[in-house]
A and B are shown apart, each in its own frame.
Chain A
Amino acid sequence: MQVESFLELSAQRFPDKIALICGRRRLSYRDLDQQANRMAHSLVGAGVERGDRVAVYLDNSVEAVISVFAILKAGGVFLAVNPTIKADKLGYILNNCRAKGLVMPGNKVEAMGTTVADVSPLRAVWLVGPSSHEDLLSDKFVASFNAALQGPDSSSESPSKKCIDIDLAALIYTSGSTGRPKGVMLTHLNIVSAATSITTYLENNSDDVILNVLPLSFDYGLYQVLMAFKIGGTIVLERSFTYPYEIIKTILRENITGLPIVPTISAVLLQLDLSTVKFPSLRYITNTAAALPTEHIRRLRELFPTVTIYSMYGLTECKRVSYLPPDQIDIRPTSVGRGMPNEEVFIVDEAGRRVPPGAVGELVVRGSNVMKGYWELPDETDRMLKPGLLPNEKVLYTGDLFRMDDEGYLYFFGRKDDIIKTRGEKVSPKEVEDVLYALDGISEAAVIGIPDQVLGQAIRAVVTLCEGAKLTEQEVLRHCAARLESFMVPQSVIFQASLPKTASGKISKREVAAVQTGGDM
């Protein structure tokens, strides 16, 4: 089975049912499928072939959803790019995967300057909404997204299928410890397997109405759309959780049954006074990205007494690892659960041997949801994907340290690297440090995560200045905000005369962190 079949099969079963609600727009399965078909023909017409990468650089929107399915229908590989990405990084990603197509907002062309035109493999750009400065795109084929949807009636049928399920469907760029984002390669089989396992344990059905406030560049957000279509349900897309009461109103107005959150959203929800509000339609809340604090779980259950809460854990490289069956949440509130259906998880020591219950080791994941590797990074791929049980099989070494109890439930212990998790997303300290070093006057920089009630971890930059240099916290943050996605911008900057070093002369992140957190890391 291929991922675009989620939409196509539901369009056959429920043609008139509302598939997607976004702002004031409501699209039936038939409408959405036909529009995706038209866009797919536009992609094929512009030269997109089987296996070609096409980037979607849009806010959560109808156009973003149409684009994802159109790219799949055209036989291509989609990548959803964070809508707050800055020009340099967009250019890096497009060049890295040699994207042939790009769908972006017309009003961002100017802000991107010549970045897009400079990506030589890129052939075609589709612009959503009014645009200006199209001359900046120089020799690219430029099309209006709306015009692409106005194709002849004959193009409302899907282009003929070209892919099989072991072909790539998506690249999801994720932060790596090297500071450069890595493209996680996912096949149709990977995505269909993960979506099947997840919708099974969530007991989803076609009556579900799922509210997604997370960006589609984040796999957790993307999967909400994919899974809603798989089950023939309805997805309600919001651009963000910025205005929390707007989201509460949406839950009530649209009779939302499923609400996926990250700990930051739960922290904001718990700051609202919702004592007089009832949520009769809401069936479940899922949480992933980082474990919910036990206190959050307790208060969420008070706030939503009739709602089932799923505590989960995962990483982009296999989508999801585990879920805690809801009946276990009072028994093992600190556990992120056990492997999902059709997937095996175990803990190994440094030598790759399985460890007994209770011992801490690296979590290993085995299943058809495990990625094919990182795009054109064989060494990094080999560090994560290692030989499994059967000949030629690869299993995923997650880099996350866990222990497992006697009954197979997992407890998070820590990470093997220094990746920061903030607002549910991974941030590479190296990537932020590279940006800091590019600022005149910065001599040394160490970026660390500080425990934070709302963000999970807050990002703190600890820096030293070159002799004679004068920089304020605001100047440093402004420099970062102009170059990094919003969630990667530090919350604070600390200036020091020097940074602690290891014996080999490297900056000791551990000591920097110990000082900043008062030694309680």
Chain B
Amino acid sequence: MTGHAKALRTSRRSILKGLGAAAIGISLTGTKRSAWAAEEPKLNFYNWDTYIGETTLEDFTEASGIDVNMSLFATNDELFAKLRAGNPGYDVIVPGSEFVERMIQADLLEPLDHAKIPNIKNISPEFMTDAPFDPGRKYSLPYTWLVIGVGYRKSKVKEVPNSWKWLFNSDAYAGRIAVMSDASELFRNCFKYLGQSLNDASPELLKQAEEMLTKQKPNIKAFHEDNGQDLLLSGEVDVVMEYNGDIAQIMKEDDDIDFVVPQEGAMRQQDTLAIPKGAPHPENALKFINFIFEPETGKGITETILYPSPNAAAVALMPEAYRDNKVIFPPADVMAKCEYPNYLGPEFSRLLDEAMTRLRAS
């Protein structure tokens, strides 16, 4: 009887464990060994969808003998929500720059030992110095960078929509406009249009932006969940607020589409590689990050995802069509007006969300 009960208890516990592992989609076998001694040849990589080269992971396994288990997240919020309750077993994550700052503040990231990532030399120096969200790049290294702008259908616009005015404050494209549904991305680009820094956290400016957008709302067809490129490609809208990399991907399919960064400047972001606190395989993670910054690896990734790469050695290997692409690498004078968003604190996050709720409900 006792023996039976015991067996039952053990099996239930292992069922629970199995469920937990299934729920996060990764395997956690034998994690509790001394992490810094001999690590088992495994790595859990938590990445965005379609955001790695076609053969990158196999190449890494071949070069190092380490098996990579990649699972996917869809938004930075999802990533943050997963990690805030404790790292469920990820070794390398790909947070956006604004979230790097939040995660550093929340003590969720492991400092990176630069000595173990010699390929840092391949990264364009400006990305190592110009990173207000992670000064000195102690916790994160640049994977790709991106900038928000206006994607548009060339045959349907009268002139190049090179100002936020066409999206935020004009009825010229009434009913053919889509903007982002993310409060921070939407409102803080409005700050740029209003001539202010997007890191200006004043409630007055937010109110001004909200009033402008409430007035503009009847002209807006959709608040999209970062699928603006699909709306543009399917002919649903003609001007859309979207990231340059996303528009570059659909320009391969439809040559009537183009992209411009508004003259007022815009929000730029970086997606970065970082190691979360409590990673079960931190040494493998460093090896993996170093491998990503190999010129050939960077080339393979860039060829697939077509995002701007901060890996100068990889960009040098890319064809001219990529290097001279004005969508992927917008002109320097307008990029100079773009800014990385700081994390503006919980109080402003709440104000932003309330403004968004009011705007959508109005």
Our verdict on whether A and B bind, yes or no, reads no
